[in-house]
Structure 1
């Protein structure tokens, strides 16, 4: 069963438990990117991508 919660900080967390699987996978989706950067922020999305992954 898929469950969705929102933390106090506004982060939306969606998870699904599969009883037959003994591993865990995590996906991070950010609703912003380089198209939202100003001229002074140019490249920060790419830097953060490398810091996270």
Structure 2
């Protein structure tokens, strides 16, 4: 899990309540990241294509 300079999770400054065990496991799991990275890339590409088609961004 990525840590900030205070050795806390990087998202800890934005979330004031304690996080659940499941959230911590998903947030720090390379195993899950490896399974989802292709879908994540496809979603990012689709989002950029939509922004381009709507003339919100240009290439």
Q: TM-score, normalised by structure 1?
A: 0.22
Q: More helix by proportion, 1 or 2?
A: 2
Q: More strand by proportion, 1 or 2?
A: 1
